[in-house]
Chain A
C-alpha cells in the first residue's frame, strides 16, 4: 500500500479499523478528538460498533463489557480523560481481558492545556488504577510508527490478555506525515474460549475481577506477574541510532526522542560521538539495553517532555555506574533540537558530575531559561 499524507490521530484510528477493530467507545477531548470523529464516520459504515459515551468513566466500562465478548475493541482519550478511566482499567486488568487504549497526552496537571506533553508517563507506566498489575505501553515517535504500533497493540493485548496503551503525545496526534496504512484484516470469526457471548451449547462462563478469598487473589496476582515476566522477556522494543562508537548516549521516547535524534545528528556533524536510544516500549522498559550500554558510554542524557519521570527508570537501570544528566520541558512546552544540542555539547565538553541529582542540576540550569513572565 502506498504512503499517504496522514494526521496522526486519523492514522491511528484507521490502523485500528484495519487491524479488525469491532468496537470503539470514546469521549471527545483535544488533542485526540479527530480519532473519535474518524471512528464515528467509519465504524458504522462498516457495520461495526461506535458509541460516543457520556464520559470517559462510561467509555472505559463500555470497553470493559465489549472486551468481555472477546472482540477487538479500543478507546482513546487525552490525559484528563485517562484519569477518569483508571477505575475501569483496573477492572480490565483484574479480569484479564485484552483492551487497547490510546492516550494522546497533553499538558497538565488539572485541565492544563492542549499542547503535547509526556506528563502522563508515571500514571500510565507505573500508576494506573488500583491494585497490582502492569500494562504494556508503546510510545510512537512518528505517524508511521503510531500506525504500526496500533496494529501491534491488538496482537499483544490478545496474546497476553492484557491492557496495551499507546502513549502518544499531542504532537503525534496532530502532526501530518506520509505513512503507509496496513491492509484491511478481516474481522475475526472465532472467539477465545473465555469470551462471554451466551452459553449456547456449552457451560456458562463468568468474567469477573473478584477473588474474595485472598489466597485466590494472591494466586491471581502471581499469575499476572508470571505473564508480566514473559512480556518483559519477549516484548521490549526500542530503536538505536549511532550507538556503535558512541561515548555518550541520549535517551528519549516519543516526540522528545525524535527531537533528540535531530540534535544527535547535529552533534555528529560537529564530530561528537553521541548516539540515541529511543525506548518504544516504556513498559516493559528497556532495562537490559541500557545495562548493555554502561561499559561503553561515559554519560547518559535523558530528554523528556516532563520533569524526569522516565529519568528515574533510567537511573534504576544505571545504578550509579555511569553519570546521568537530564533535560526536560514542562507543561506542554516542546524542546527545540538546539536546546538538546547545547546539552549534548556541554556533556561532551565538560562531562557529567559523577554524583548529585541530575534533576536538581537541570532545575538550576533551566531556571534562567524558563519564561517566568511573558
Chain B
C-alpha cells in the first residue's frame, strides 16, 4: 500500500518580520504586537510602501524587527514625525508604534493634534501601565494603587492623579476615523486585536483619517510577576479600568468584514 504525505505550512514567520531574535523579555507582549502588525502588512500586501516610526521605550528597536522602511523618533514625537512623512508621501502607509509613556505622557500634544487633524496615519499604542524601558516608573496609565518604582506606596490619585484612558479621549475628536482598545492576554483577544490592526490600516488605505489601536499589554519584568501571572493581572486589573471596545469606527469601515 502506498501512502502520500503532504506537508502543509500552517505557521511561519511573516515576510514583514525580520529573522532576528527580539530583545524583549521572555513573555513580553511587545513581540505579539509586532507579529500581528507584520502579519497584517503581509496580508494587505503593503510592505514595500509602508514606513514605520519607532518610539522611545522598550520598542525603540522595533525598526530592527520589521522588514520595511523605518525611522526612529524622539520620545513622544512619533506622531509628528509620521505626519511629516505622510504629508510628503501621501500614498505611503505610515504607522507609529508607541508605549504609554511615549504616547500619553511626553507625547500627549503630538498624539492629540495628529488625531485632531485627522492625520491619515495608523498608531499602535502599547499600554502596559508602566515605563518598561527605564525599569518600572509610573506611567500616565498606571492604575490607582499600582506600585511602581516612582509610586512605591502605590499610585495615590490624590497626589499623582488619575490614569488616562487614551482611546476614549482620542475617540472624541472629529479627526479620528478608527479608535479601539484590544488586549493581548489570550488567544481570543489576540485574534480580535489582529482584526483591529487590519481595520486600522484599512482606515489609512481608505483615507478615513486617524486610526489608533490601543493594545493592553504586560510587562512581567517591571510588574514583578511571572509571564503567566502578568496575563492574569492584565485581565483582572487592567480590563476593568480599560474596557475593550470600539470607541470610534467611521461609517465607511463598519461594512468591512475582516
Contacts and interface: CB of A to CB of B under 8 A. Distances in A.
Given A198-B48, A198-B50, A198-B69, A58 B87 contact: no
A87 B74 contact: yes
B81 A201 contact: no
Interface in A43-61: 49, 51, 53-55, 57-59, 61
A63 B48 contact: no
B51 interface: yes
Contacts of A91: 73-74
Interface string A84-102: 0001100100010000000
Interface in B79-101: 80-85, 87-89, 92
A349 interface: no
Interface string B54-89: 100000110110111111111001001111110111
Given A22-B88, A23-B88, A201-B48, A65 B71 contact: yes
B82 A206 contact: no
B81 A205 contact: no
A207 interface: yes
A71 interface: yes
Contact of B49 (A25, A49, A59, A198): A198
A66 B71 contact: no
B72 A65 contact: no
B71 A196 contact: yes
Given A54-B113, A55-B109, A201-B48, A61 B80 contact: yes
A210 B68 contact: no
B48 A208 contact: no
Contacts of A88: 74, 77
A123 B74 CA distance: 20
Contacts of A22: 88
A69 B85 contact: yes
Interface string A58-88: 1101111111110101000000000000011
Contacts of A369: none
Contacts of B238: none
Interface residues of A, number: 39
A196 B88 contact: no
A209 interface: yes
B30 interface: no
B258 to A, nearest CB: 23
A198 B73 contact: no
A210 B60 contact: yes
A58 B88 contact: no
A207 B48 CA distance: 16
A59 B74 CA distance: 13
A204 interface: yes
A239 B63 CA distance: 47
B63 A68 contact: no
Nearest to B112: A54
B87 A49 contact: yes
B47 interface: yes
B202 interface: no
Contacts of A208: 54, 63, 70-72
A61 B92 contact: no
B72 A210 contact: yes
Given A73-B88, A196-B71, A53 B80 contact: yes
Contacts of A209: 72
B61 to A, nearest CB: 8
B219 interface: no
A199 interface: yes
B168 interface: no
B42 interface: no
B69 A196 contact: yes
Contacts of B71: 65, 68, 95, 196, 206-208
A131 to B, nearest CB: 12
A66 B53 CA distance: 12
A361 interface: no
Contacts of A54: 109-110, 113
Contact of A69 (B47, B77, B89): B89
Interface in B130-145: none
A230 interface: no
B85 A196 contact: yes
A62 B92 contact: no
A200 interface: yes
A58 B89 contact: no
A196 B72 contact: no
Nearest to B119: A51
A66 B48 CA distance: 18
Nearest to B82: A65
A63 B83 CA distance: 9
Given A88-B77, A196-B71, A207-B72, A66 B87 contact: yes
Contacts of B83: 51, 58, 62, 65
27 contacts: A23-B87, A54-B113, A58-B80, A61-B80, A61-B110, A62-B81, A64-B81, A65-B53, A65-B82, A65-B85, A66-B85, A68-B71, A68-B84, A69-B84, A69-B88, A91-B74, A197-B51, A198-B68, A198-B89, A199-B67, A204-B68, A206-B64, A206-B70, A206-B71, A207-B71, A208-B54, A208-B70
Given A204-B70, A210-B72, 14 more contacts: A23-B88, A54-B113, A65-B82, A65-B85, A66-B88, A88-B77, A196-B51, A196-B69, A197-B89, A199-B69, A201-B48, A204-B68, A208-B71, A209-B72
